[in-house]
Structure 1
Amino acid sequence: MHIDLPEKRYYSIGELAKAFDVNTSLLRFWEKEFDILKPKKNAKGNRMFTPEDVKNLRLLFHLIKERGFTLDGAKEYIKAKPKKSLDTFEIIRKLEAIKSTLIHIKNEL
């Protein structure tokens, strides 16, 4: 899944929910369930997600929504392969972005 987000320091929960096409309540639930999601909260208590949080959220979305992992299965996968899983997922995401760009260029020709 390709997610279009502008380059920013912080993203609101609403922006991410819209980009991932999920409810904000799901993002709040995942925040409680997974230790890798740690959004900052401002004085009002609004969650502000960093680009690192977005990477982790993409990994969670991929594992749970696309690959069909259960919550416990996703936790075990992340715990067993913490750094490797993130690196592998980032490589796959970048290759998919390159593929979509090349397909777009091909269609333009």
Structure 2
Amino acid sequence: MQADLPEKRYYGIGEVARAFDVNTSLIRFWEKEFDVLQPKKNAKGNRKFTPSDIQNLELIYHLVKERGFTLEGAKLHLKENRQKSLETYEIIRKMEWVKAELIKIKEQL
């Protein structure tokens, strides 16, 4: 899953939750569970997610929701293979995009 967010420096938790089609409580829960998520907080305590936080959320979403990892399994996987996981996830995203484009071409024929 790729979050469909505009290019910005910071994203609110509501924007992020809508992009991933999950509740804001799940985003807050993942923030507590995964050390790689460190959103900045303003004076009111509102979370502001950076593009790198979004990338980490995409990877966590992929591992937990799409591949079926447990939270402990996803944490372990991120600790041991973070760079490899990011590369693999990027390849999967590109392949899904190519597949979608090919389906569009097929439907036009």
Question: Structure 2-normalised TM-score?
Answer: 0.88
In the alignment, what sits opposite 2:68? Answer: 68
Gaps of 5+ in 1: none
* Greater RCO, 1 or 2 (C-alpha within 8 Å, sep 6+): 2
Deviation at 1:105, TM superposition (A): 4.1
In the alignment, what sits opposite 1:43? Answer: 43
Q: Per-residue displacement from partner, 1:46-105 (whole Å, max 9, x unpaired)?
A: 111111111110110111111111110101111111211112112211221232234334
Output aligned runs, 1:44-59, within 5 Å. 44-59=44-59
Q: Which amino acid aligns with 1:68?
A: G
What RMSD, in angstroms, separates the aligned Cα atoms of the two structures? 1.5
In the alignment, what sits opposite 1:4? Answer: 4
Gaps of 5+ in 2: none
SS of the residue 1:56 aligns to: helix
C-alpha distance in 2, partners of 1:51/1:84?
A: 19
Q: Would the alpha carbon gap of residues 105 and 41 (structure 1) be closer, same or farther in structure 2, given more than 3 Å must change?
A: farther
Q: Taking every aligned residue pair, what percent have the same amino acid on both sides? A: 69
Deviation at 1:2, TM superposition (A): 4.2
SS of the residue 1:81 aligns to: helix
SS of the residue 1:69 aligns to: coil
Q: Would the alpha carbon gap of residues 79 and 13 (structure 1) be closer, same or farther in structure 2, given more than 3 Å must change?
A: same
The number of aligned residues is 109
Structure 1's consecutive aligned runs of 4 or more residues displaced over 4 angstroms after TM superposition are: none
Asked whether the equivalents of residues 63 and 69 of structure 2 are also in contact (C-alpha less than 8 Å), the reply is yes
Q: Which amino acid aligns with 1:107?
A: E
Q: Would the alpha carbon gap of residues 105 and 25 (structure 1) be closer, same or farther in structure 2, given more than 3 Å must change?
A: same
Deviation at 1:5, TM superposition (A): 1.5
